[in-house]
Chains A and B, each alone.
Chain A
Amino acid sequence: MTATQKLAQAGAGAEETRTLTLIQAVTEAMREELARDERVVVFGEDVGARGGVFLATAGLQAEFGKTRVFDTPLSEASIVGAAVGMAVRGMRPIAEIQFADYMGPGFDQIISQAAKIRYRSGGQFTAPMVIRTPSGGGVKGGHHHSQSPESYFAHTPGLKVVMPSTPYDAKGLLKAAVRGEDPVIYFEPKRLYRAAKGEVPTGDYTVEIGKGAVRREGRDLTIIGYGGVMPDAERAAAALAAEGVEAEVIDLRSLVPWDRELVLESVSRTGRAVLVSEAPRMANFMGEVAYVIQEELFDQLLSPVVQVAGFDIPYPYVQDKIYLPGPNRIAAACVQALNY
């Protein structure tokens, strides 16, 4: 597949589209899946009449009724656990955890039940379900409303982990997650909910879990990121372009599984990789990407892989914007790689 084809795949097709925000795309995916399959239900804290704290489920209860879209007790363990039990009984639950920071009380249900039941039962029982949750910083939320816990879940076999950064992907990945056979942790970069706007087809489509997308083609180095950092990665690439440096930008879209082929193909051409994630650096998911790059492409690398990550501190409130890897920090990392 050429990079141009990848761009086409990552963006809208030839059919009719209109501009949506990322959160509108999330809502639309749920609306269409609720309409498509009666086994689909949407639930969590405040998702009903209120429509969720970010209004991702706004209007869905009015449209589909309280048996399809409903509020639950304030308990992540029971929200996740109930989703497991429903899925085992043949439903397709979409559970909302109000903020990714609150997945802690539901953690055992995710790792002991959702992730394990297919394996431990020899495939006799399965839990096809989706846990949606807003994650990441940039909204002045302090450390209990800004964390990026994706690495915990990427570390747990049995879970698929995705994080879109565009409205197109948000809708297509969520639909794929609902229709798939596995438990999917679906992180929504909350600072892009309304900041990310893009073309979304009116027709039904899915985005395959496990496939990345090339956001910008380039020959000099490869910037790889996912979720909330993507617009800044593209800004950094644009700034570098003004200096005559052509950075390729890859959006992983899925962490588990992740698109090794796309990443390795790109880095083997450019010889340089800059990995961007706002999660704390220690045991960051991008460490796995860096490891695979050095394992597979050691001889072709022109510089060490550079990681741009969050700091190993609880997410701060006042220093919100300084914490995040913005375009300047990403561009500086690229320069570091180029000047090695």
Chain B
Amino acid sequence: MIQPFTSDPLRWVSEDGQPIRELPARFTPELLRELHRQMVRAREFDKKLVTLLRQGRTTFYAQASGMEATQVGLAHSLRVGHDWVWPYYRDHTLGLAMGVSMLDIVSQCLGTNSDLCRGRQMPHHFGVADKRFVSISSSIASQVPPAAGTAMAQKYLGTDEITVCTFGDGATSEGDWHAGLNMAGASGAPCLFVCENNQWAISTHLREQTASETIHIKAKAYGMPGYYVDGNDIVAVMEVMGHVAERVRAGEGPALVECLTYRIGSHSNADADAEKHYRTREEVAEWEARDPITRVERLLEHLGAPIDPQEIRDLVAATHREVDEAVLTAEATGQPGWEIMFEDVYGDKPVHLELQEDFLRAEQGTATTGGRA
């Protein structure tokens, strides 16, 4: 039984890779290696996408380096394609670990014809229907009330699905966050709220964000349990998420999990030199020493199943190739033409949109190669 409302983050593995609680049997070296593989893949994806950004091939990217244990651990705690996810804009590691293809994410970042979202949003705001990974929106916390609604629908329809809703620490200041948690609590909807507390909302630190000691204790106000987890310990994340997801699935109402982690990189390319303006190099170094990937490597060493450094080098190289191939494949599909601007606004196309489309057709002179890939 995992207790909510602990004063310290729940942890299974210490920062130097020693189990401090009995390691659950499912965490075999094979599983840990697979989790490690996914974390490294996501870390390298971050690096490659920043490069892509610097090359001017995409215009926005929000790194998740440092948060891999939280997102990969969460992905392994839900039933992909069955449970619904209302994510936030730093969840590509979650998406990748859920099996969203690199091509889908890269296509969205490049706005190519292979983008499932058809080039409508700024980069890094993907959505994939077959994974039930709802299209990401930029406005902070606006996914929280809809997540409550999806969970209410699941309860009404009598499904055994749950809804997972993620957000950063900054989102917990928004009215929509409180409205959504309150709605889910009052309706007993099967919603698992996950705060990926990376401690910085762009340049605003958690201490300026709230006077609340932690985020997870806010759950108390909404009549749901709040769990506090070391978000850099993937064993802890999976143990707590697994327990809480089962609880939510069993009809015991919503729950909030706060994963304490850290964003190693900048918020986005908009604040590329974060250490110069709002945080210290020492703080970043302190958290780099708690790296979730290193922790798994140390744990595997402790278990007598260390990862060969060559294996990691091969994985890094393979990931870089994978991204390069995804970029080439996506770019080869071209960018959507102007025609699709007027599609998907409504279920049908009203006259005023037809007229505006006619205007643009005349202005553009000829039809382009729009449409789906």
Contact = CB atoms under 8 A, between A and B. Distances in A.
A122 B373 CA distance: 12
Contact of B135 (A108, A109, A124, A181): A124
A86 B351 contact: no
A81 B149 contact: yes
B128 interface: yes
Nearest to A81: B145
A158 B345 contact: yes
A29 B156 CA distance: 22
Contact of B84 (A89, A117, A260): A89
Contact of A105 (B116, B151, B175): B175
A86 B149 contact: yes
Given A75-B182, A78-B182, A109 B117 contact: no
A250 interface: no
B144 A120 contact: no
B363 interface: no
A182 B347 contact: yes
A160 interface: yes
A118 B151 CA distance: 20
A83 B183 CA distance: 11
A20 B118 CA distance: 46
B212 interface: no
A121 B115 CA distance: 10
A120 B346 contact: no
Q: Give the bracket for the number of chain B residues in contact with chain A.
A: 35 or more
B307 interface: no
A119 B145 contact: no
A151 interface: no
Given A119-B345, A122-B120, A124-B117, A77 B175 contact: yes
Contacts of B43: none
Contacts of B182: 73, 75, 78
Contacts of B180: 77-78, 81
B129 A125 contact: yes
A210 B152 contact: no
Contact of A120 (B84, B117, B153, B186): B117
Contact of A78 (B84, B118, B148, B348): B148
B142 interface: yes
Contacts of B345: 118-119, 157-158
Interface string B137-175: 101001111111111111011000001000000000001
Given A108-B176, A121-B134, A124-B117, A182 B346 contact: yes
A83 B142 CA distance: 13
Contacts of A175: none
A200 to B, nearest CB: 26
Interface string B334-373: 0000000001111110111000000000000000000000
Interface residues of A, number: 49
B128 A124 contact: yes
B135 A73 contact: no
Interface in B39-90: 84, 86
A198 interface: no
Q: Name the residue among A67, A210, A257 with the largest chain B CB count within 10 angstroms.
A: A257
Contacts of A80: 145
Contact of B116 (A41, A85, A124): A124
Contact of B186 (A72, A93, A122, A157): A72
Contacts of A81: 142, 144-146, 148-149, 176, 179-180, 183
A123 interface: yes
B137 A82 contact: no
24 contacts: A73-B182, A77-B180, A81-B144, A82-B149, A83-B149, A85-B148, A85-B153, A85-B163, A86-B150, A89-B154, A90-B157, A113-B145, A116-B137, A117-B134, A118-B345, A120-B117, A120-B120, A124-B127, A124-B129, A125-B127, A125-B129, A182-B346, A210-B350, A260-B351
Interface of B: 84, 86, 115-118, 120-121, 125, 127-129, 134-135, 137, 139, 142-154, 156-157, 163, 175-176, 179-180, 182-183, 186-187, 343-348, 350-352
